[in-house]
Amino acid sequence: MLILVERMTAAAGDLTGRLCLPFDLRQKSRFRAALTDGRAVGVFLERGQILRDGDVLRAEDGSLVQVQSAAETVSTVRTTDSKQLARVCYHLGNRHVPLQIGDGFARYRHDHVLDAMVAGLGLHAECEQEPFEPEAGAYGGGHSHGHDHVHNHQPDV
């Protein structure tokens, strides 16, 4: 089994495989999977990272594997009306829905309740199979509510 241990900023050699993953797995730091050629891999990365389409992972043996976003069931809202799109994004974000925002579209994991909300806002959500690359968020996607240091929450007197 190939053991992937480091996320690289750029490929410094030839790629030896591709790892096609849905968003749920790309959020995890430790899991087993298979490359597109069927070889088994174990992923052991630093916690708090989200793998993105095109990222390169280095294995213990030095080989390099490229991450590819898998197609998954999503709802896509398309419009040329930027104000309408902003309204949809606002309401989806207000529900803490992972959201991919592109030029003239917004995409989220398919959910018929959210699709109905979008329709109520005057747009149509199309269910389709596409790669899902949601925004990392204001804290870069690796934000954690855990604390590694001590805070003094007492007011200064």
Here the CATH number for the domain that contains residue 12 is 2.60.260.20
**Structural domain containing residue 118:** 71-131
* pLDDT tens across the length of the chain (157 residues): 999 999 987 776 789 999 999 999 999 999 999 999 999 999 999 998 899 999 999 999 999 999 999 999 999 999 999 999 999 999 999 999 999 999 999 999 999 999 999 999 999 999 999 999 999 876 554 433 333 333 343 433 3
- What domain count does the chain have? 2
The confidence score (pLDDT) of residue 139 equals: 56
Give the Cα separation of 21 and 133 in Å (integer): 11
Specify if 20 maps to a domain. yes
* One domain for residues 42 and 89: no
Specify if 152 maps to a domain. no
* One domain for residues 54 and 79: no
- For the stretch 7-35, what's the b/e string if a residue is b when 16 or more beta carbons lie within 10 angstroms of its beta carbon? beeeeeeeebbebbbebebbbeeebeeeb
- For the stretch 69-78, what's the b/e string if a residue is b when 16 or more beta carbons lie within 10 angstroms of its beta carbon? bbebebbbbe
The confidence score (pLDDT) of residue 150 equals: 36
The confidence score (pLDDT) of residue 111 equals: 97
The confidence score (pLDDT) of residue 142 equals: 44
SS (H, E, C) 67-109: EEECEEEEEEEECCCHHHHHHHHHHHHCCCCCCEEECCEEEEE
Q: Which residues pair with 89 in a beta bridge?
A: none
* One domain for residues 58 and 95: no
* One domain for residues 47 and 11: yes
The confidence score (pLDDT) of residue 136 equals: 83
The confidence score (pLDDT) of residue 138 equals: 63
- CA proximity to 18, closest of 38, 39, 43, 35: 35
pTM: 0.79
